[in-house]
Amino acid sequence: MGIRGVRPDQAPPTARIRIPEDCTPDFPAEGCGTGLSFDARKGCVDTDRDFRLFFELSPDILCILESDGRIGIANPAMAQVLGWPPEEIKGTPLAGLAHPDERASMEENLARVSSGLAPLSFVARCRTADGRFRDLLWTVHVPNGRGLLYASARDVSVLERNRIRWELAVDAAPVPLVLCNGQGLIMLVNRVAEETFGYRRSELVGRSIETLVPEHIRDRHRQLRTDYMQHPYARPMGERRDLKGVRRDGTAFPVEVGLTPVEMPQETLVLAAIVDLTAQRQETDDAVRHARALEEANARLARMASTDSLTGMWNRRAFLEQLGVQLQIALRSGRPLSLLFVDIDHFKRYNDTHGHLAGDAVLELVADIMGQLARRSDYVARVGGEEFAVLLPDTDVAGAIQLAERFRMGIEHAVWPIEPVTISAGGTTARFDPDQRELDDRYRSHLLAEADRALYHAKQRGRNRVSHTDDLD
């Protein structure tokens, strides 16, 4: 089974792509992102419309290249990201879009993949239609060794700007900060760490964290680090550990260290905050100053570990931890506890239509409105892309519905810069057996699933609505 493209003149296509897996879509030779059609086998995509929408609505650039690297077909994201209409760029060498300084490197990468190398990812600056350049992360591979190249790309310029902002925040911290990967290799140090240890950051990045530990305890430190990475957790300062650091000149000095796991898509990094205790140990008068520095560093680390970087609200991990705490309090005190899930209606369509910057602005404004409308005792968090959760201590069914309606109406009647935005909300209220004394994670998961079920019901009823599980039973 295959897929054939049809030219406007009904002539046979000049290219035919066949992928002999369970689902075998073929792209047309003409059209560059339009007019896709295919047959579907059982268990695959149900209609040609589904596949066409996937290809045409993807925010990532998708294209198929001839064996010589020329663009055969591209989706509309080529125009959205770089400004090049797919039909105009057909037949152009992909490497021709690269910055002159990077063109040879891109040609080499394409040749390596074309020769049978495993899929390859690389970043290249590519020219836009108006003459600017954007950083794109390309992934290229050869499907089934047939000579064509499949390529996809996404704009990483925003990600790079966010990374720079984060590094600037780390560099401005008043205590030494060192970021390490799971193997203990230093990835980032700030200015205060340079001053404290006497190294330039270029001398530390890529080296083992044991470089900053006295030689006679490095083996022990290496073992402790390995054990910690098995189950990383936020470890605050002030635990009275007898820790030592070593400067570039070999001088050992007492330190306090706080550790914060930083969850990344493919690995867990660890951010270490280090305070030099030399002066504290020498002069009693400095004790208060250092204690204040420790407190501020712990608060900063706690915020970094528990806060969503875009909205400033609690993140999912911090929210789930607080949910466990509040469930135990509700069980022991007998007071009610409710949970809301809130989802922005049609957010993906909004993002695709108006762009990610406009979408981020909506997320920030929704978070701001919910933060203003929530009570001081409530816990509001961003737990997913466009999904928020609210934990409501001392709140029964009626109170949960009332507060959810307050959120819904506040957002519905807010002034939005582009087009109106609404939310749907689903709520549930915890219930315990009279003789129940303990809870486990299964009940927490059950409560989350119930709130999600109520949210789904609100969406099924037409969105911009509130549902509670009591309405469903």
Q: Annotated active-site positions, please?
A: 386
Assigned token pair, 244: 């030592």
Residue 66: what residue type? Answer: E
Secondary structure (3-state) at 131: coil
Assigned token pair, 235: 């470890």
Q: Assess contact for 220 and 210: CB atoms under 8 A.
A: no
What is the DSSP-derived secondary structure letter of residue 185? B
| Cα separation, 307 vs 396, whole angstroms | 27
Secondary structure (3-state) at 17: coil
Looking up tokens 């390490």 gives 180
Secondary structure (3-state) at 249: coil
- Report which secondary-structure segment, H or E, holds 52: helix 48-57
Distance of CA 34 to the CA centre of its chain: 31
Assigned token pair, 51: 């596949």
What is the DSSP-derived secondary structure letter of residue 117? P
For 21, phi then psi, to 5°, come to -105, -165
Q: Assess contact for 244 and 256: CB atoms under 8 A.
A: no
Looking up tokens 């007071």 gives 335
What is the DSSP-derived secondary structure letter of residue 216? G
With CA atoms as reference, report the closest residue to 257 among 279, 234, 285.
Answer: 234
Assigned token pair, 278: 């030399």
